[in-house]
Structure 1
Amino acid sequence: MFLVIRVRGTTGVIQKVADTLHMLRLNRINHAVLVEENPSFEGMLQKSKDYITWGEIDAELLAQLIAKRGRIEGNNKVTDEFVAENSDYKDIAELAEAVIKSEVKLADVGIKPVFRLHPPRKGYEDIRLSINEGGSLGYRGEEIKDLAKRML
């Protein structure tokens, strides 16, 4: 499971890349989504790599993300009670484990699929360079956890 975060805005985006970002539900800067690891999504990530960053997420960070930034209808926060009432899981941690294993999707439980994050503490690195060149864009691997924690 990948966590994908939009880093750059809409100015000067090529239409095909804009459509790909729209399909990924990344409509604004600092929005994040969860994406499964399969060839079609990996192609979409490669196509829009100049505007996003992504990497693997673990269940612990996903549980924190759902608890702090997860929203349900009416822009209300996700609680353990809500998860217990609307799913087969007793709390957010169990739900996060199931989402990582692709047993359930957030939308099946009633949680919105997009997380609206804060800008990262101490800012992004250069938003026009890839992570290999000292910037913020592209595939990060496990380092996405550090960025996500700075954005919670």
Structure 2
Amino acid sequence: MYAAIRIRGTVNVIPKMKKALDMLGLKRINNLTLWKEDRQALMMITESKDYVAFGKVSDEVLKELIEKRARPIVPGAKVDTKKVLAELAKGKTPKQAGIKNLFTLSPPRGGFERKGVKVPFSTGGALGNRREKINDLIKKML
């Protein structure tokens, strides 16, 4: 699965980018959404690369994320982590697995990478495709 974390705010954002962020479900800073590994999701995430950090999530980080931050769709219900992980492994969406697709995270402990939130990850910043390094950022934000 892909994880997309919103890093930057909405001030002076062009309308096309704002629409892409809304379609991803990322309305606030430090929000995370999960997406299946398909071409449409990757294109939508890549289009908003100047405002989000994204990459593939490992199974252990996904388990920790669901245990700590997952919220059920039905109010008052409990989240069964094993059941949700099994559903996600079958290729279902988080909504079909019984949890909301929006995870609210804290700002990262120790801050973002060296150059900050305006620079791509490839040149030392926090934005764009982080591949497997997204797991380190998620752990810092849990």
Tell me the TM-score normalised to structure 2 length.
0.90
Q: Indicate whether 1:134 and 2:92 are aligned.
A: no
Runs of 4+ with deviation above 6 angstroms: none
AA aligned opposite 2:101 = P
Mapping 1:112-131, distance limit 5 Å: 112-125=100-113, 126-131=116-121
Deviations 1:42-73 (A, max 9, x none): 21112100000101112221111011001124
> Is 1:48 the equivalent of 2:36?
no
Match of residue 72 from structure 2:
72
Aligned residues: 140
Contact 2:20–2:48 (Cα < 8 Å) also in 1: yes
Measure, in 2, the Cα distance between the counterparts of 1:12 and 1:41: 24
Q: CA RMSD in A?
A: 1.8
Kindly provide the CA deviation profile for residues 2-50 of structure 1, in whole angstroms up to 9, marking residues without a partner as x. 0110000011111000000000000000000001222211211121000
Question: Greater Rg, structure 1 or structure 2?
Answer: 1
Q: CA deviation at 1:106?
A: 1.8
- What amino acid does structure 2 have at the position aligned with 1:54? F
Matched residue of 1:62: which SS? helix
| Mapping of residues 3-152 of structure 1, within 5 Å | 3-73=3-73, 78-79=78-79, 83=80, 92-102=81-91, 104-125=92-113, 126-152=116-142
CA 1:68–1:96 in structure 2 vs 1: closer, same or farther (change >3 Å)?
same
Q: Distance in 2 between matches of 1:32 and 1:8?
A: 13
Q: CA deviation at 1:75?
A: 6.5
- In the alignment, the residues of structure 2 paired with residue 69 and residue 77 of structure 1 have an alpha-carbon distance, to the nearest angstrom, of 14
Secondary structure, aligned partner of 2:118: strand
1:98 match: secondary structure: helix
**Local SS of the residue matching 1:96:** helix
Change (3 A) 1:141 1:113: same
- Unpaired runs of 5+ residues, structure 1, are 84-91
| Gap change, CA 1:75 and 1:29, over 3 Å in 2 | farther
Q: In 2, are the aligned partners of 1:68 and 1:77 still within 8 Å (CA)?
A: no
